[in-house]
Amino acid sequence: MSVTTNPEKVQFWRKWTLRNAIALVLGYIIAFSIAIVITIIGDLNTSEWGPPFTQTCWKIGEGVIIGLSIGFIQLRLLRKIFNVSSFWLYSIVIGFIIVELIAGITCWRMEINRGDLSFLEGDPIGHTLMLTIAGLMIGIIQFPLLRKHFSRAAYWVLSSAVAWGISVLLTAIDTGSEIGVLLFFILGTLLYGAITGATLMWILVPKEIKN
């Protein structure tokens, strides 16, 4: 384990917080940009999300992009600490796909427009609930990868759920402007990185070898 002293831990935490926030923001920007391009090329109605199947495909695609963006950054940083499996990169993607499939079926049965459950569409609470569930699923998938090396790995599951949810929860604060929503979202991404980074610094204690 290369991060052993307090200064090294603080430095790692800073890198983790900033790089995860950047990856999360870029992931949303890329996903949103691709959606706009497809909408323009396909001459689609931007005011409608389409049928449930189309909505689910849109959100799964968004989750894949964001998941790969975050997963790539996290894998590179974690490998500086311990020999984490490359599956970590795909665990976030898988978590989003599972949750979006469940959400798609649920929204279809309850006749809810899945596309409206987003802070970008004015529903930060709905988006927070979705990301909290996704974070919980992601944490559960990643748990075995951490448990092999660290005894406190179970706390990562809770941290993942809270951190993913809070990344958009702050946008629920009514600022009356789109700039305000954007600023609170950026702050939320920083909190995501700060929470997960702090949790890692606490749980990454090697298991004691029993004689």
The per-residue pLDDT for 39 is: 66
Mean pLDDT within 67-90: 93
Are residues 92 and 47 in contact, defined by beta-carbon separation less than 8 angstroms?
Answer: no
List the one residue out of 3, 32, 4, 30 whose CA is nearest residue 16.
3
Average pLDDT for the chain: 85
Q: Name the DSSP letter for residue 48.
A: -
Q: Tell me the C-alpha distance between 96 and 102, whole Å.
A: 10
Please report which confidence band the pLDDT of residue 211 belongs to, taking 50, 70 and 90 as the band edges.
very low
Model pTM score = 0.86
Please say whether the dihedral angle defined by the alpha carbons of residues 89, 90, 95 and 96, taken in this order, is positive or negative.
positive
Among residues 137, 133, 141, 113, the alpha carbon closest in space to that of 49 is found at: 113
Span 117-127, average pLDDT: 79
Give the per-residue pLDDT at 121.
Answer: 72
Residue 44 has pLDDT above 60, yes or no: no
207: which DSSP letter?
P
Which SS3 state, helix, strand or coil, does residue 196 take?
Answer: helix
Q: Is the pLDDT of residue 113 over 70?
A: yes
Torsion of CA 89, 193, 132, 106, to 10 degrees: -50
